[in-house]
Amino acid sequence: MNVRAALAEADARLRAVSATPRLDAELLMAHALGFTREALLLGGLERAAPPSFEELVERRLAHEPVAYITGRRAFWTIELTVGPGVLIPRPDSETLIEAALAGFGDAGPATILDLGTGPGTLLLAALDQWPQARGLGIDRSETALAVAARNADRLGLAARARFARGDWAEGIGERFDLILCNPPYVETEAPLPPDVSEWEPAEALFAGADGLDAYRRLAPGLGGLLAPGGMACLELGAGQAEAAAALFAREGFTTSSRNDLNGVARCLVLRLAA
């Protein structure tokens, strides 16, 4: 069977488990061949399908995320190594980088803090955006921190990125021009697709009955980490903008929000009131 036929067959099979079956099949085939997806589509469709492709499809049929199968995920201008134990980067989170870019422009911040860094997603994307900046990524997971450090090294950013184990803002004695954070914000009882609920780390997803527990933890300590004139960008769950903003307003922040590409208020932008 050639690649074209194998992709068509996998597309049909993956419809049972994926909203993007053709894309999944193409990414898995490209991985099996050692190609980029673009190279696959431009010149690889008539070659023989590799035997390893079937195993990859079976893993996807068991709801394993494509990013875990291939071991990588594109985000902003970088590609990150990912795997079990770390949250998979999502396009919605790019809204935080867009908000920061709107706030700082090309000059950018000098110092960046990423709370709950996971595989280094937001910190490394920001450092790639602003080559003069330096930053610190905090996470409670040793697994995530190890992946983040490897990503920084692979991307040539290790000299400007530090990673440390921590619990949100506790014990950090520095102030930063830009704070980025994608906290858990899913309600404890919210239904999630098996790709997420059965594979990604629960501690990076769930935040109490209303999904706001992480914001409650963050709000009292965030002001002490922000340098004068700085800003913080926090990711929001759908419908959480008003409730989350109120928590930070009570701590002296001015708040605004930025929508993602689907029109959902996805980023809470915080500045300390003058």
User: 224 and 131, same structural domain?
Assistant: yes
User: 153 and 18, same structural domain?
Assistant: no
User: 91 and 8, same structural domain?
Assistant: no
Q: Per-residue pLDDT averaged across 120-124, rounded?
A: 98
Mean pLDDT over each residue of the chain, to the nearest integer: 97
Whether the Cβ atoms of residue 122 and residue 182 lie closer than 8 Å to each other? yes
| 71 found inside a domain | no
- What is the phi-psi region of residue 206: left when phi exceeds 0, alpha when psi lies from -120 to 50, beta otherwise? beta
Report d(CA 90, CA 74) in Å as an integer: 9
**212 CB-near residues (< 8 Å, 6+ apart):** 185, 240, 243, 244, 247
User: 234 and 164, same structural domain?
Assistant: yes
Tokens of 50: 């590799």
| 254 found inside a domain | yes
Residue in the structure block whose two tokens are 């983040």: 148
Q: Domain of 164: which CATH number?
A: 3.40.50.150
- pLDDT tens-digit map of 56-96: 999 999 999 999 999 999 999 999 999 999 999 999 999 99
| 70 found inside a domain | no
The domain of 109 spans 76-272
- pLDDT tens-digit map of 140-195: 999 999 999 999 999 999 999 999 999 998 999 999 999 999 999 999 999 999 99
The pLDDT score that the predictor gives to residue 34 is: 96
User: 218 and 245, same structural domain?
Assistant: yes
| 132 found inside a domain | yes
Report d(CA 6, CA 9) in Å as an integer: 5
Whether the Cβ atoms of residue 95 and residue 238 lie closer than 8 Å to each other? no
User: 116 and 41, same structural domain?
Assistant: no
**101 CB-near residues (< 8 Å, 6+ apart):** 129
213-222 and 241-249 helices, crossing angle to 10°: 30
The pLDDT score that the predictor gives to residue 22 is: 98
pLDDT at 273 over 90: no
- pLDDT tens-digit map of 218-272: 999 999 999 999 999 999 999 999 999 999 999 999 999 999 999 999 999 999 9
| 49 found inside a domain | yes
User: 104 and 35, same structural domain?
Assistant: no
| 124 found inside a domain | yes
**159 CB-near residues (< 8 Å, 6+ apart):** none
Q: Per-residue pLDDT averaged across 93-107, rounded?
A: 97
The pLDDT score that the predictor gives to residue 168 is: 92
User: 88 and 44, same structural domain?
Assistant: no
pLDDT at 274 over 80: no
pLDDT tier, 123 (very low <50, low <70, confident <90, very high otherwise) = very high
| 141 found inside a domain | yes
| 148 found inside a domain | yes
User: 263 and 181, same structural domain?
Assistant: yes
* Closest to 168 (Cα-Cα) out of 211, 128, 134, 203: 203
Residue in the structure block whose two tokens are 């995920």: 73
The pLDDT score that the predictor gives to residue 108 is: 97
Q: How many domains does the chain have?
A: 2
What is the DSSP annotation of 93-128? GHHHHHHHHHHHTTT--SEEEEET-TTTHHHHHHHH
Q: Domain of 21: which CATH number?
A: 1.10.8
Report d(CA 136, CA 158) in Å as an integer: 11
Q: Which of 17, 38, 62 is the last residue of a domain?
A: 62
